[in-house]
């Protein structure tokens, strides 16, 4: 039987703190969502200035990245290339969701929403940096 790594609450707090620091440094009001490897919410943090809808969007981006084991932008790019059937698949194919990989396995995901998609990804990448 295989032993599996997973995110602890301490991990979630560390990752979220790094995301928050990046967002605050840039003056961005975002929502940060962290999920386990099955896309189930572990952490949700709404910074000042984030709109209510951003909570749902960040959660969906994280869920997308977790269950697909790929950044949410990967499917967005395929849809933009004409693979429209992918719109009906689970998750939210919009940039800003990143899987959290540890020793080659997905252990969760980060989703960020509130600013431009590239900036959402920048915030999520700050969180990934503390996992390595």
Set out the domains of the chain in order of their start, with CATH numbers. 9-128 (3.30.450.150)
Predicted confidence (pLDDT) at residue 132 exceeds the cutoff of 80: no
18, 129 contact by CB (below 8 A): yes
Predicted confidence (pLDDT) at residue 15 exceeds the cutoff of 80: yes
Question: What is the mean pLDDT of the segment spanning 127-131?
Answer: 96
Q: How many CB atoms lie within 10 A of CB 17?
A: 15
The string of DSSP codes covering the chain is --------HHHHHHHHHHHHHHHHHHT---EEEEEETTS-EEEEEE-TT--THHHHHHHHHHHHHHHHTS-HHHHHHHHHTT-GGGGGSSS--SS-EEEEEETTEEEEEEEEESS-HHHHHHHHHHHHTTT-
pLDDT digits (tens, 9 = 90+) for 34-62: 999 999 999 999 999 999 999 999 999 99
pLDDT band at 78 (very low <50, low <70, confident <90, very high): confident
pLDDT band at 72 (very low <50, low <70, confident <90, very high): very high
Measured distance between the N- and C-terminal CA atoms of the chain, rounded to whole angstroms: 25
Model-level pTM?
Answer: 0.94
Per the prediction, the chain carries an average pLDDT of 95
Nearest-angstrom CA–CA distance, 13 and 42: 10
Q: What tokens appear for 64 in the block?
A: 């997308």
Predicted confidence (pLDDT) at residue 87 exceeds the cutoff of 80: yes
pLDDT band at 85 (very low <50, low <70, confident <90, very high): confident
pLDDT above 90 as % of the chain:
82
Question: What is the mean pLDDT of the segment spanning 76-102?
Answer: 89
């Amino acid at each position: 039987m295989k032993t599996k790594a997973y995110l602890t609450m301490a991990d979630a707090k560390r990752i979220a703190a790094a995301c928050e620091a990046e967002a605050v440094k840039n003056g961005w009001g975002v929502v940060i969502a962290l999920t386990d490897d099955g896309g189930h919410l572990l952490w949700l943090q709404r910074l000042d200035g984030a709109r209510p809808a951003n909570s749902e969007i960040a959660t969906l981006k994280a869920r997308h990245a977790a269950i697909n084991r790929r950044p949410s932008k990967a499917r967005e790019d395929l849809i933009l290339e004409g693979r429209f059937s992918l719109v009906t698949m689970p998750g939210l194919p919009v940039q800003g969701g990143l899987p959290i990989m540890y020793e080659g396995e997905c252990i969760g995901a980060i989703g960020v929403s509130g600013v431009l998609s590239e900036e959402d990804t920048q915030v999520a990448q700050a969180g990934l940096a503390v996992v390595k």
